[in-house]
Each structure stands twice: as C-alpha cells, then as structure tokens.
Structure 1
Amino acid sequence: MSHTHRELELLEALKRLGGSARNADLAHALDVSEETVRRTVKALSITSDVERVRGGAYLAGTQSEPSFFRRISLRSDEKRLIASVVADVVEDGMTIYLDVGSTTAYVAEELRQHKNLTVVTNSIGVAQTLVHINNNKVHLLGGEMQGNERGTFGHVTTRQVQRFVIDMAVLSLDGVSQSRGFLYQNSVEADLSCAIAELADQVLIAFDHGKLGENAPYVGPDPRRVSYVVTDRAPEEPFATSFANWGIESLVASENA
C-alpha cells in the first residue's frame, strides 16, 4: 500500500528514534503539531505499519509494546504536575542530568521554557525534546542501547557522564523503601543512578505516589545524597520520617498549589 509523504516522514522519524517515540518527540522531529502526528499515526495503524499506545507509537513487528509507553500512560496527570514543580526548582543556566524515566520525560517538556541549560542525558526522548531550544546544549551519552527504556547504559555511559560538573540530577525510580531508600527493577539503571548521585551537587528524585512502598530488587542512590523528592501526595508515615532522617526535602505537586 502506498503512503503519503507525511506518513513516510513519520516512519523514518520512528526509525531514527530507535523504533518508538512519544507524540511530542515526533512532532518536534517533524516540526508539526502533535495533532498532525496523532492523525498520521492513526492512518499508519490502520495499515499495520505502526502500533499506537497512549502518548506515542512504535514500529509494528519489531517489539512488543515498550515498557516506557506502559509507564508513561500511568498517572499522566500526576506526572505533569510533578514535572511543573521540578521545573520550578531548576534554574536557567544549570548543568542538569535527566534520566530515562517516564516522569522525567514530562520534566523535559516543562524545561523547554528554560534558557541556557546544559543537559546531560542517556534518554533519546529527553535529548530530542530539549535540543535547539532556548540556547540549550544537549549531550546524549553513549553506551549500550536498551530499547524498552529508550536509553543508554553501561560502562561507557558511566565514564562519559563523569566528564561533566552536574549542578542537579533529576532521577526516577521504580519503588521506595522506608528502610533502603530508592529502588530499581534494572541493575544497570540502579548502578548509573548511584554513580550520577555521587557526582551531582544536588539530586532530585521525582515519582508519583504509587511508587511509595513498591518493591524492586536493586538499591539506588544513597538517600543521604538526595536533596529533594517531588511527588503528587505528601508522604505519610513511615516515609515522611525516613525522608526527614535522610535530610530530604519533600516537595508536593498538587492542582491547588
């Protein structure tokens, strides 16, 4: 079946972005509106060239639905509120690190209003969102690509990030333990988060309230290295006490704030 020029452009953009992308990233890559992307994706889904997921699309026949898109569709309203608070903490001119988390993807969109940022990231989506915006400088770290996370990990990634003086690291997570701190499902993500927390002057961890009490097998950064947590509900006990004992300031995102 023949495709329109716009459909071919979108297919090529998906290939360049690793086979999957959010609508916002595709709109930026193609210099069109997100509504145009949604219409084009819908047409391509009818021909079975792409699969639609909430907030994005991926090339059909290459992978099952990426975990990134499953995660980004959960509690999207809460993540937008959290991202707005994170953006208020970040100052123009900072050197910041942003990871591959779904909440961090929303943070990247909010940071498009900031100026003169030096952005260090292992996320394809974050790099695409912030490059060529308001005199930002974006550095995409090398390493082994993990398709489901849409980012790079491993020894090369860790070595490259050590070249930067990071004012603030914005990290995500998979679970929070009252005794162990911040947890991850993926060992390489946990290792990279630990390394970056040791480098950064300030560490901010952003997550929705559903992560409190969630279990995961790998321990992340030392909680005493974390400056802020940003979430959508005030942490209750025992987490409130744990955060206070670790010296972490809790910032709460809400519609009434």
Structure 2
Amino acid sequence: MMKRQRRQHEIVALLAEGHFRGIGDLAEALSVSEETIRRELRVLEASGAVVRAHGAVRLAKVETEGSFATRLQRHAEAKQRIAGAVAELVADGQTLYIDASTTGHYVARALRDHQRLTVITNAVGVAAELGGRNENRVLLAGGELDYEYRACFDATARDYLAAFTPSLAILSVESVNLDHGFADYHVGEAAVCRMMIDRSRRTLIAVDQSKFDRHGTVQVAPLDGVDMLVTDAALDPDYAAALGEVEVVIA
C-alpha cells in the first residue's frame, strides 16, 4: 500500500508543471510499466487529483476560488460538529491561536460562551466573533488583507504573530495525505500555520473527512507532527497508524 502511495506521489510531482504528459513518458520516468501507471492514474483520477485525456494526463485545477461566505457553507454541518468538539477541549482563560480557515471561523463561533480567552489570530472573522465579549482579549495581526480569506498573511502579520507563544494553536488544512501529511494550497496560510505550530505549546488540527486523500501544494506538518486531530468520522487504519501517538477525537 505504501509503495503505491509513494508512486502516486511521484506521479503528482512529475505533473507539477501543469502540462499534459503521456502515459509512456511517466512509465519511463518511474521505470514501471504503462499498465502500472494507468492503475495509479485511475486512483488519482477518482480522488480528483488528475485529469486524463487521449493517453495523457495533467494535474486537476485546484478550485480555491469563491468568496469566504461560499467556502463557509462547504461541509458546514461537519465543520460545525468539529468546532463544537474543539470548543469542549478549550478551558476558560486559555491563550489560543486560531487560524484563518473556515473551520477556524466555526471554532470561534463555538467558543463564544467561553470566558477570559486570549485569542491570537490573523483572521478578521475570528476577531469579530470573539472580541468584546466575556472579558476576552483579542490580538489581531495586521498587514495587507487577503480578501479571499479575510485575513493577513504577509511579513507584517508574520512578524506580529511571531512574538506570541499560545498554549494551543487551532488550525485546519486543505489536504491530509499519507505521503505529505497536512498541507494547504495557499502559500501564505501554510507559512503562518507552520510558524504558529513552532511557537505554540500544543497544536490541534481540525479537519473534516472531505480533506483526506487530497494532494496539497504546501506542507504544513507531517501527520505525527501535531498533538491532536479532531475530525468527523473514524479514521482509515493506515491514517490511524501514521498518526502514531497523536490524540484523535471523533466529533
């Protein structure tokens, strides 16, 4: 199983330039038969990672466009259930980092009854949900606003966030994969998440099952590089094994 997954990852790497490549070309590059390549491509195509046409293949376009409100509605029920489970793990008075993901936004909503939180974030929506209530303290990173994410990811934001050492970083990602771990499509978001993992005492990844087996662009962390995972369904045995000693909570 792991050998096949590595081969699929190698195929995706060969297609990284975005152009169509022939089946024979891929087979030669990986020193395997064309039938082996076709078998792996069937798996990748079913997962939405690649597109095939007339004996050739390319990476599928990643659909990251759309307003924040639109993305907030994707898998909303699962995200809300996950957010509720995350909120139960947070104590009053705790110092948190909450990222700019839509799942992070739902987590902020789920925390609205908590008291005296110190919330560090680069997301405007998170600040709006938790600021000015229950003696919360909100520390919002500034800089150039990314309107698609309603957050700041530039050097100004990173410099501000680098000063903090939260007790818990609450993050989400766009991809969970056995080969490349937790990953995002947005380079700036991934950079901020990596930094906050390094700065925080503990890290929690909150992610719904639609993100598993997707191929991300920029790694955030290896699967065993976080402390907790909160998701909405039981894990495949391969993922359970790869997560090692990571605490898993099923919402």
State whether TM-score is above 0.5. Answer: yes
Which digits, 9 at most, give the CA deviation of each residue in 1:197-232, with x for residues without a partner? 000001001011110111111111344431111010
Structure 1 runs of 4+ with >4 Å offset: none
CA contact (8 A) 2:119 2:138 kept: yes
Q: What CA distance in whole angstroms lies between the structure 1 residues aligned with 2:118 and 2:183?
A: 27
2:139 alignment counterpart: 139
State the percentage of identical aligned residues: 33
Please state if 1:184 is matched with 2:179.
no
Q: What CA distance in whole angstroms lies between the structure 1 residues aligned with 2:248 and 2:68?
A: 26
CA contact (8 A) 1:179 1:242 kept: no
Equivalent AA in structure 2 for residue 166 of structure 1: P
Give 3-state SS (helix, strand or coil) of 1:190's partner. helix
- Mapping of residues 1-257 of structure 1, within 5 Å: 66-244=66-244, 247-253=245-251
CA change 1:224–1:243 in 2 (3 A) is closer
| Cα-Cα RMSD | 1.3
Give 3-state SS (helix, strand or coil) of 2:96's partner. strand
Q: CA deviation at 1:110?
A: 0.8
Equivalent AA in structure 1 for residue 163 of structure 2: R
Point out where structure 1 has 5 or more consecutive residues left out of the alignment.
1-64
Q: CA deviation at 1:239?
A: 1.1
Question: TM-score, normalization: structure 1?
Answer: 0.70
Give 3-state SS (helix, strand or coil) of 2:182's partner. strand
Point out where structure 2 has 5 or more consecutive residues left out of the alignment.
1-64
Give 3-state SS (helix, strand or coil) of 2:237's partner. coil
Equivalent AA in structure 2 for residue 107 of structure 1: V
Q: CA deviation at 1:177?
A: 1.0
Q: CA deviation at 1:162?
A: 1.7
Equivalent AA in structure 1 for residue 123 of structure 2: S
2:27 alignment counterpart: none
Which digits, 9 at most, give the CA deviation of each residue in 1:2-59, with x for residues without a partner? xxxxxxxxxxxxxxxxxxxxxxxxxxxxxxxxxxxxxxxxxxxxxxxxxxxxxxxxxx
Give 3-state SS (helix, strand or coil) of 2:216's partner. coil
Question: TM-score, normalization: structure 2?
Answer: 0.72
Q: What CA distance in whole angstroms lies between the structure 2 residues aligned with 1:101 and 1:249?
A: 21
1:13 alignment counterpart: none
Q: What CA distance in whole angstroms lies between the structure 2 residues aligned with 1:111 and 1:164?
A: 20
Equivalent AA in structure 1 for residue 248 of structure 2: S
CA contact (8 A) 2:224 2:242 kept: no
Paired residues in the alignment total 187
Q: CA deviation at 1:154?
A: 1.7
